[in-house]
């Protein structure tokens, strides 16, 4: 077996193993994201924010937030009067995200936590999305809940989406942005070469952690295809679940209504 053969790598999302992996690569994570996607991951996150349909004064929760790029995109959408919380289980990734708050002058509440047991009240009694309640009352429920490139690292996908749905207000949106396996022949061949072979090598050179960047393509290989993921979101209680395929078939953008 080649040390960079992602097809034979065990990518089971064991929480402690995944947490330790992201702690180790936190310092190089942003740089390698830019390299691996040619910077396009920022555009994909902007599309996720558009689908989330949050506006000025709104509120959003970004789970598995990593170093905070999607949370910051949400904050730009809700503005100074809006609220965005970013949650992740990796303390080192969150430290990078908090440092970025000062660099980009966007305040996001970053906190450590588990997407399978979100530390927020239910949004069911909060009223419609986009905050019709008294502004002086404590916030209850979010207008949207997002996850970008993180749901494949969760051991129970249905439970994760159930929790995301629970903390949203009625009518709010749950949005999932994730890498998927392309079906178009040309892109499928490129994906096989790039993600299964080149990405682990880049991880070894830039992050000095080839196992982490072998896990990445291997986790995509064992992740449900878009139609199956749609079914899991519906199983979690989300309504009107739809998805779009982006970037020649390597990115799936799923969204559903609470």
Examine residue 116 and state whether it is found in any structural domain, yes or no: yes
Which range of residues forms the domain containing residue 70? 6-130+138-257
What is the residue whose two structure tokens read 């998805």? 243
Per-residue pLDDT at 127: 60
Examine residue 83 and state whether it is found in any structural domain, yes or no: yes
Examine residue 200 and state whether it is found in any structural domain, yes or no: yes
pTM of the model: 0.88
- Residue 242 tokens read as 């739809």
- Residue 113 tokens read as 């936590």
Per-residue pLDDT at 70: 98
Examine residue 1 and state whether it is found in any structural domain, yes or no: no
Examine residue 220 and state whether it is found in any structural domain, yes or no: yes
Number of domains in the chain: 1
CB 182 within 8 A of CB 220: no
Per-residue pLDDT at 132: 45
Per-residue pLDDT at 3: 44
Q: What is the CATH number of the domain that holds 191?
A: 3.40.50.150
Backbone region of residue 53 per phi and psi (left: phi > 0; alpha: psi in -120 to 50; beta: other values): left
- Residue 151 tokens read as 């749901």
Task: Using CB atoms within 10 Å of the CB of residue 190, give its burial: 0 to 12 exposed, 13 to 18 middle, 19+ buried.
Answer: middle
pLDDT tens per residue, the chain (258 residues)?
344 455 556 667 888 888 888 898 898 889 888 877 878 899 999 999 999 999 999 999 999 999 999 999 999 999 999 999 999 999 999 999 999 998 889 999 999 999 999 999 999 866 666 544 444 444 679 999 999 999 999 999 999 999 999 999 999 999 999 999 877 776 666 666 666 666 666 666 665 666 666 777 788 888 999 999 999 999 999 999 999 999 888 899 999 999
Examine residue 104 and state whether it is found in any structural domain, yes or no: yes
Measured CA to CA, the distance from residue 87 to residue 109 in angstroms comes to 8
Measured CA to CA, the distance from residue 102 to residue 160 in angstroms comes to 30
Per-residue pLDDT at 52: 98
- Residue 192 tokens read as 């096989």
Examine residue 151 and state whether it is found in any structural domain, yes or no: yes
């Amino acid at each position: 077996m080649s040390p960079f053969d992602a097809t034979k790598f065990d990518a089971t999302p064991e929480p402690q193993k995944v947490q330790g992996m992201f702690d180790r690569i936190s310092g190089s994570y942003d740089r390698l994201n830019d390299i691996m996607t040619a910077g396009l991951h920022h555009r994909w996150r902007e599309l996720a924010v558009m689908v989330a349909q949050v506006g000025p004064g709104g509120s959003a929760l970004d789970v598995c937030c990593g170093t905070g790029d999607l949370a910051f995109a949400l904050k730009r959408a809700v503005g100074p009067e809006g609220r965005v919380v970013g949650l992740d289980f990796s303390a080192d990734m969150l430290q990078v995200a908090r440092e970025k708050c000062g660099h980009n002058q966007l305040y996001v509440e970053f906190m450590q936590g588990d997407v399978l047991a979100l530390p927020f009240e239910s949004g069911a009694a909060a009223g419609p999305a986009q905050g019709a309640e008294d502004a002086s009352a404590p916030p209850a429920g979010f207008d949207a809940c997002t996850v970008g490139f993180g749901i494949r690292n969760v051991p129970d996908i249905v439970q994760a989406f159930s929790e995301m749905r629970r903390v949203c207000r009625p009518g709010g949106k749950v949005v999932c942005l994730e890498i998927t396996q392309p079906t178009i022949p040309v892109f499928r061949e490129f994906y096989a070469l790039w993600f299964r072979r080149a990405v682990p090598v880049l991880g070894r050179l830039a992050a000095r952690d080839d196992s982490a960047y072998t896990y990445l393509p291997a986790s995509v290989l064992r992740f449900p295809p878009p139609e199956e993921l749609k079914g899991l979101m519906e199983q979690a209680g989300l309504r009107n679940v739809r998805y779009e395929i982006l970037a020649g078939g390597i990115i799936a953008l799923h969204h559903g209504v609470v």
